[in-house]
Amino acid sequence: MDLTFSPAETAFRAECRDWLEAHVPRTALPSGDTPEGFALHREWERTLFDARWAVVSWPREYGGREASLWEWLIFEEEYARAGAPQRVTQNGIFLLAPTLFELGTQEQQDRILPKMASGEEAWCQGWSEPNAGSDLAGISSRAIRDDAAGGWRLRGQKTWTTRGAFCDRLFGLFRTDPDAPRHDGLTYLLVDLRADGVTVRPVERLDGDDGFAEVFFDDAFVPDADVLGEVGRGWSVAMATTGSERGLTLRAPGRFMAAADRLIDLARRVAEDADADPQLQDRVTRAWMDAQAYRWQTFWTVTRLVAGERPGAESSLVKLFWSELDVRLHETALALLGPHAELVGGEFAAWMKGYEFSLSGPIYAGTNEIQRNVVAERVLGLPRK
């Protein structure tokens, strides 16, 4: 594994750092999980796209720079270091797009990817259902064949759909053969949330934001052109998406490195308080070291990908690590702040907000209990019972 950046990669870092320093909003945008915040974040996505920073690793015809994986990692580090706005298009860009590049038709790529990159169409993920969360194969939402119309009629419900209240389109699995075994008879569909027969109902989160939604389907129509992959083989398509979700693309190490640096700054300020607990320094040091360890592990993963390998089920180990690191890092910040952590508003409020979000990390993208089962059975080869 080569840990030395080339002159070209160093120049790439300087270019993106200069652009971000000149364009990142001086005042933090409102939460992207509110209607007004989502609209402002979408404007930011357009700013990124116009400067070709929205999808740096994509082909130029879709708005990218054809950056290498190493350059993508560099951009992610600089983006987090600059404190740039949260990416409200991440489900489309980081989860659906890799699957579209791998399994989508040329027509789907040409039609969907440019609008996704510019933020014109924002995508949400329709995985969870009332009786199927981490057990994805347990979904019951149906897609019924409509030969006359040339497509599928959807019936059922998705839930806990992140930013579903604000997004334009949804990607998800639907059961097209109810008599087939659990992992068969599923089809991966791309759904227009503005279509007739689709009802989106916001779900208020604990922090008051409408970050989730329930989505109901009452004979909503999806044309054949919006089937991703083969009919009845949606499970294998979904596994390509979840590999991206749990592995490299959803949570790049730059996010945690930037948070660890802010934690160190916080610790230095709190250390001036005579009542500060010196034992917390160990937790701060551990958080920073873990962020660095995640960075080096990611370098190893990228090295393998560049060499043509695919990590596969090992991506579950990555998801376990970053989700638990995020919780530890924010818990340490709250411990440093003591009673000040509970103040609403002010300079430290972002730590409590970040802590509340970190608690969802061990749940979304497949619960950590499920990930441990995956590691036990598929990585370590242990028996199911």
User: Which residues are identified as catalytic?
Assistant: 245
Q: Which two tokens stand for residue 41?
A: 């974040």
**Buried b / exposed e across 172-188, counting CB within 10 Å, b at 16+?**
bbbbbeeeeeeeebbbb
**Contacts (Cβ under 8 Å, ≥6 apart) of 142:** 154, 155, 156, 174, 175, 176, 178
Q: Which two tokens stand for residue 128?
A: 């969870």
Q: List the Cα angle 304/306/308 in 5-degree steps.
A: 75
**Contacts (Cβ under 8 Å, ≥6 apart) of 277:** 335
**Buried b / exposed e across 147-170, counting CB within 10 Å, b at 16+?**
eeeebbbbbbbbbbbbbbbbbbbb
Q: Are 135 and 146 in contact (CB under 8 A)?
A: no
Q: Please give the C-alpha separations between residue 175 and each of 143, 160, 207, in angstroms, as whole numbers.
A: 6, 19, 34
Q: Are 81 and 254 in contact (CB under 8 A)?
A: yes
Q: Which two tokens stand for residue 277?
A: 């607990």
**Buried b / exposed e across 363-372, counting CB within 10 Å, b at 16+?**
ebbbbbebbe
Of 348, 372, 378, 359, the closest CA to residue 206 belongs to 359
Q: Which two tokens stand for residue 12?
A: 């790439």
> Do β-strands 212-223 and 198-203 pair in parallel, antiparallel, or remain unpaired?
antiparallel
Q: Rounded to whole angstroms, how far apart are CA atoms 363 and 355?
A: 14
Q: Are 121 and 112 in contact (CB under 8 A)?
A: yes
Of 81, 88, 85, the closest CA to residue 29 belongs to 85
Q: Which two tokens stand for residue 261?
A: 């640096």
- Phi-psi bin for 229: left (phi > 0), alpha (psi -120 to 50), beta? left
SS3 for 145? strand
